Chains A and B, each alone.
Chain A
């Protein structure tokens, strides 16, 4: 502090006052900029605040340290430690205050002069002022003065000997006898009173940290260390103390004082100030010499890091208030994370607030929360239709609802999954129909006979048409008309398969769309049905369908008009009909009506009006392409369309890509767009060839979906999903990791059952599984000794709780009623890991519904409370 090193002290009781001390003391008041703008001599500290110099005190030369009286009254009393060891009480701007008049000017003089390094007021017994001095061979280095003590008469004897201190003050204000003298023949570099007991003083001595107890001054607790400077107690945690040596900060816990609990990373330059934030728990600010940054250490309370998720114990940050070098800083006593910084030169001051770290968390449902300082923010997306509709649209809400409606679990009528998903999403509809048709084809025995054709089914139309061969070309007549059509149509096995995958035709060699048309009529998709009929060169059927549509309930009468227009079709190249249709068709709102006329008016082989009409379903366009594009055109078109779909993340494209790597790419862009890992997981599991399942992206979706179910506490759904997954992807089944061993022979009692295909999650269901002859296993299969008894029914384990059918094949399990499934679980053996008592799971569950203690008499183990997840309730109802 001698001239070059300024320090800041904040008033303990006035949040707007602080003192800067360098060669003199300056008292400042901090206030909003606006208020003090008119006054001269205000110094701007930040955009909002400015400081006004209230008073200057330059009475005390050779200042080495300053401490502010901790009590309210007298309010601006300061103790100044000088280079010669004298401690002087002084005040700032309080000249007329009578309460401190008799204290101001009082001097406390050590027997042997040497530098006063540090001062500390006792926070409770504020008469006590501790001073830490340099070493003297014959004197003490920690002197505790009583500021209220009067001039002691015995000092008058020695006062005649005061020859050297020529600048003698009137002796009534000089105190030479300290209340306590501690630390003989040692140096004291830093001091602080412990907050846990006001009789304890922590001192950084020459080679150790020592705790002096004023009730018994001959004893001290000490620990040898180099880190003896700047001792300071954490105001929020009274056993935590920081001290430093050179560039290293040590954090001590007074309850375990043998060595530092933490040492912070060493700085290249020596430290000059270390201070705990008074408004924030566990935040320590440090400043090194010649530095323009303040380092902050955020000490978390996390015990030991578990996994990668936990934060490190200390988070280090640094703040830079301004460019120039910092002389000192002081935390604001009450304003959160705020400090004033003074520059090393010229007393440039800055007021700033350390921004709190923001931690952010997505909930597993729809909300986003973040915490900053003492505030918690809930972020809600504000849509035009209000909050509720936004939440409705949120993928998390949708997935939750879909999970509850067993979306994805219909493995027979695969297409029905889109209804389980709500039936309102055209992409999902297309996806599940694609998967349904693929499954149908794959199971088709006729195709199997044709030499494993079904293996290509899941590889998508893109791959199927690549291998096309033996294409024949035909020119068919318009059905119901004698006219020869000049439209060429192409046929091959692959094209036929593609049409099946598109859902236009069903099995059989003939291309018969009648079934498909009827189903479309049933769904009142008149325009689409009519277009499909037309593409099959059945113009009469097309007109008929349109008529039907017009006359049906709530039908569109305009369809009749379209039918009339259609009936006027002529293949005359330069007819008025052609000319008008090709231009007016663009005004038709329905894309299918539009493409019908596009088809009729295009030249053969140039069907861009149909193929690139993006409002038409991909499956219809692909089916059309398979019928009317040549071998050269077809793969080019399909490739182009595939890439388009992949880029857009459009699930309709799964028809083209199949469940291949391309399909995963497409799904990836879909997930990127929507976050719908649920659909991604279920659909990828359908691709029975294991290749796609090994893709790390697919595994990631599946794991994330499982985590999501766990987060929602949908544990039953999670289990169902795992079972579903295990069936489709046998490699995902976990191996048994826990075995129940016999108390007598030590062998696993479940080994006889381990051949069972479905092993659950490690807990063996030995009591209820196995072949019917072994269904009652009440003794160890190894040594034939009886198994333990259930603590409640006193029957040996292995005895069923109620009637229980054998599990048999896993497929059957799905059809079991809910009661049966529960009954099965009731038979499981469960036990407490603490007291090792247990019994049938069902018995235990009902016992602990009403009791907290173990059912075994005399055992006081609170088994259920030890189970942290035992208190959680699943939120799915099944």
Chain B
């Protein structure tokens, strides 16, 4: 297996719901005018609390500082696992589940905080730049690690990074078991030919920027349904996550999805905003999913984490998580 440290330096930002109006211009530029910016990595996720934006430093320059803008202080580096194709995996489980054991669990043990971003095309594991040496020393046994520099993949080793083996924390704290919420709406994960992006532009602008005003109360009525919409444009690839209600607004023949038309249910993790320093949160969810061979998407946002599991597996996942909460020691 190969692990690529991609050539992006990312910032994680939150825009408050009220403040979105101040950022409409730069966001539209980043989404629709690819040729006008040098931003290569852009992701925008709407949650009931706020908007989470993950973008590289070129894109970050577009955003003016404001009281509505909260910036996480670290530089994050995206990691990407590539099976170098020698083993055609027999397991159907994909995404976070696949890398749960090999990447997420070892990093959690080393107290490395990760920020997950799953897309239609692949899964990105974001780690803080300061943790890079720990990441490399932790994972180098399992992976061939490459660092991308100007488009070329350069093999990298522990000794290439200053202050090699340095664990983040000594004592193994028993991770907090966070409460989970399982909203009722169904989600789909989709992609789009970038050339046809202009033809869905109006719908997309409508969904992104004008959605919350009339349905303000709907978002607050319990958590039966949750407002969640994610758009990412990374290295020219578009990925969309939306619920079936939003999906109906788009022309059906333009969005790509699986031929089986699979639908996903969401597990939202966290009762309080999770922060960026706690580790083991992703592992908490992904480990049991991996044990049961259930595939999953995982999208971290500024406040909470979100896992998407196949609709048909939601019952077993619910049982499993409830069991975990009753008897944390058993997991």
Contact = CB atoms under 8 A, between A and B. Distances in A.
Interface of A: 2, 62, 83-85, 109-115, 134-138, 158, 161-167, 176, 181-187, 205-207, 210, 217-220, 222, 224, 226
A112 B261 CA distance: 9
A545 to B, nearest CB: 97
A186 B85 contact: yes
B259 A138 contact: no
Contacts of B118: 137
B119 interface: yes
A183 B120 CA distance: 16
Nearest to B239: A137
B153 A138 contact: no
A220 B85 contact: yes
A164 B95 CA distance: 22
A138 B260 contact: no
Contact of A83 (B87, B89, B122, B195): B195
Given A112-B259, A137-B122, A226-B151, 18 more contacts: A2-B195, A84-B253, A85-B256, A111-B259, A112-B256, A112-B258, A137-B121, A138-B95, A161-B261, A162-B261, A165-B261, A176-B259, A186-B82, A205-B85, A207-B4, A210-B85, A218-B86, A218-B87
A162 B259 contact: yes
A847 to B, nearest CB: 61
B87 to A, nearest CB: 7
A185 B191 CA distance: 15
Given A111-B258, A113-B191, A165-B261, A222 B119 contact: no
A112 B88 contact: no
B259 A109 contact: yes
A165 B259 contact: yes
Nearest to B97: A138
28 contacts: A110-B259, A111-B259, A112-B257, A112-B258, A113-B256, A113-B259, A114-B256, A136-B120, A136-B121, A137-B119, A137-B120, A158-B259, A161-B260, A162-B259, A162-B261, A165-B259, A166-B253, A167-B252, A185-B94, A186-B82, A186-B85, A187-B121, A205-B85, A210-B85, A218-B86, A220-B85, A222-B85, A224-B153
Interface string B251-281: 0110111111110000000000000000000
Contact of A185 (B83, B196, B252, B253): B83
A62 B259 contact: no
Contacts of A111: 258-260
A185 B122 contact: yes
Contacts of B259: 109-113, 158, 162, 165, 176
B84 A83 contact: no
Residue among A162, A181, A185, A224 having the largest count of chain B Cβ atoms under 10 Å: A185
Nearest to B87: A218
A226 B151 CA distance: 7
**Majority-rule SS of B interface residues:** loop
A114 B120 contact: yes
Contacts of A136: 120-121, 191
B224 interface: no
B262 A166 contact: no
Nearest to A3: B195
B56 interface: no
Contacts of B191: 113-114, 136
A165 B86 CA distance: 33
Interface string B77-99: 00000111111110000110000
Please name the 7 residue pairs, one residue from A and one from B, whose CB atoms are nearest each other, closest first.
A113-B256, A138-B94, A164-B261, A83-B193, A135-B121, A163-B261, A112-B258
A72 B176 CA distance: 68
Interface in B48-96: 82-89, 94-95
Nearest to A218: B88
B230 interface: no
Q: Which of B4, B84, B119 has the most CB atoms of chain A within a 10 A radius of its CB?
A: B84
B303 interface: no
A226 B149 CA distance: 12
B109 to A, nearest CB: 25
B46 interface: no
B196 to A, nearest CB: 7
Interface in B145-167: 151-153
Nearest to A185: B83
A750 to B, nearest CB: 60
Contacts of A114: 120-121, 191, 256
B78 to A, nearest CB: 14
A135 B85 contact: no
B122 A226 contact: no
Contacts of A187: 121
Given A109-B259, A226-B151, A134 B85 contact: no
B257 A184 contact: no
A135 B121 CA distance: 5
Given A109-B259, A112-B258, A224-B153, A164 B237 contact: no
Given A184-B85, A220-B86, A84 B256 contact: yes
Contacts of A2: 195
A213 to B, nearest CB: 12
Interface in B102-139: 118-123
A183 B252 CA distance: 28
B262 A161 contact: yes
Nearest to A205: B85
B45 interface: no
B102 to A, nearest CB: 14
A181 B153 contact: no
Contact of B193 (A115, A207, A226): A115
B47 interface: no
A184 B85 CA distance: 6
Contacts of B82: 185-186, 206-207
B295 interface: yes
A113 B255 CA distance: 8
A69 B153 CA distance: 37
Contacts of B121: 114, 134-137, 187
A137 B94 contact: yes
Contacts of B89: 184
B237 A135 contact: yes
Contacts of A185: 82-83, 94, 122
Nearest to A157: B260
Contacts of B188: 164
A158 B260 contact: yes
Contacts of B237: 134-135
Contacts of B120: 112, 114, 136-137
B260 A162 contact: yes
Contacts of B193: 62, 83-84, 115
Contacts of A183: 85
Contacts of A158: 259-260
Contact of A164 (B83, B122, B196, B257): B257
A217 to B, nearest CB: 7
Nearest to A82: B193
Nearest to B295: A138
Contacts of A134: 121, 237
Contact of A207 (B86, B95, B153, B262): B153
Contact of B252 (A164, A176, A182): A164
A137 B95 contact: yes
